[in-house]
Amino acid sequence: MGMPFIQQAEEVLLKYTPSWRFEEVLAKLGFDSEGKRESPNPDDSKPETCEDDHPETSKITIRWVFHFTPDDLVEIDVDRELLVFRFATVNPRFGDEYYAVPGKIFDIDQTVLLDSTIKLEHRLFGVGYDRRTSVMSAISKMLDKDTEIIAIGGSRDDAIPTMDYEALLNEFPTTQLLQHYGEAQIESYIADYLHTAKDYATEYEHAKDRRRKSTIEKLTLRSDILDESRLETVATSYAMMKEALDSGALWPEEKWQKQVLEILTTLYPQYVSVIPKAEIRDVTGGKKRYPDFLLVDSSGNVDVLEIKRAFPKSRLIMQSPYRESYIPARELSGGIAQIEKYIYLLLNWGPEGERVLTKRYHDHLPEGMKLRFLNPRGLLLIGNCAFAEEEQRDFDIICRQYSHIADIVTYNDMLTRLKRMLWSITAAKQ
């Protein structure tokens, strides 16, 4: 039985194809098998008329939730056994932000307002076994008799936010859960005096656990609102990273670093600022040091970033293994040593350094932010290479060995991460 909603500018239509005999459905609505209104007076019969007065008894209930009369009909297609009902309209009283559904369609006293941006589906109105429980009816029974409107979404002050309504649907107690609850309550009074057939309290807890598990399994790392902008951001970053790897060997170092920095916050969104060539004081050697970049997160914590070129693997690991193990080559070990030295200098400089750099680079920071050297870490971006299986294993061991100092990330790893982020967003949308 199909039942799609057709959302138009001024109204919402519901298409209904009955799963039982079409002639019987027509008869319930006061029409004959040809879609003509049955009338004691043959002269009054009109083909496919849907606007004349009909007895109150002429109505049908669809899926135990929706109630329609002949006045709601806008089309009868006998050949396709299709009925089209007017489900909601845009009412000037409530503005064009909402579709207004007459309460009689849910067999309630209140008018239901639905944010016109919500995609309407049967699941929004029916829950439980075969979606036979009417959500609107359940809400209506709990309302004060003077309440005239049930609004879902939109900007009205009395509207239930769309996210809260979705949460209600997910947590709506099923008929079975209510039955288990009732049995558990009864058992609590009689268990000390009579032998029950089951442990009803345990059954009730198991039923709740199954419901919670079902709800948790539906959670995803996605948002219809945010995913559109995320998709554009990640796709652009992926294209920029691929361009850099394809053409970057010919670029000046400054252009390479600029391109990488523009992509960086897509993969590391915790950082809010970058300070290039920050002047660090070496309190032990009396010198000044200049790391490529200092990264600042949203709490003011400082990390060290080194952006190296997309070197081939021969500059990351030695070509010949040392006692059957591949060890770091000069560029990799040098990059790690650089970061370790800068972290050491920051920690030695301590609170004085925090104050100095905060004052010196205040124009790089959000208003009121203070830099902190609590537990600086490093990020080393280096290399673009495909390792053989044994090489990859040893390279991963090297990365883990120095993970307390820095995250070592190759540019092909960055490209792979962006590609998987794209998959995550597009797969969720599909």
Identify the pLDDT of residue 271: 96
Q: What is the model's pLDDT at position 49?
A: 40
Question: HSE of 361 in the Cβ direction (CA atoms, 13 Å)?
Answer: 25
Tell me if the pTM is above 0.85: no
Annotated domain spans of the chain: 1-89, 176-217, 225-429
Tally of helices (H runs) and strands (E runs) in the chain: 10, 18
Q: Contact, 13 vs 85, CB < 8 A?
A: yes
Residue 53 has a pLDDT of 45
Residue with tokens 């009412």, as numbered in its chain: 91
pLDDT of the residue at 219: 64
Partnered with residue 5 across adjacent β-strands are 14
Average pLDDT of each block of 10 consecutive residues along the chain (430 residues)?
Answer: 84 91 88 75 45 58 92 92 94 93 96 95 87 90 92 93 88 80 86 85 85 67 74 90 84 89 94 95 87 95 93 83 85 93 94 95 94 95 87 90 92 92 77
Q: Identify the pLDDT of residue 38.
A: 67
pLDDT computed for residue 71 by the predictor: 92
Residue 397: what are its φ and ψ, rounded to 5°? -65, -40
Which residues on adjacent β-strands are paired with residue 83?
Answer: 16, 76
Is the domain spanning 225-429 CATH 3.30.930? The answer is: no
Report how far residue 240's alpha carbon sits from residue 262's, in angstroms, rounded to the nearest whole number: 9
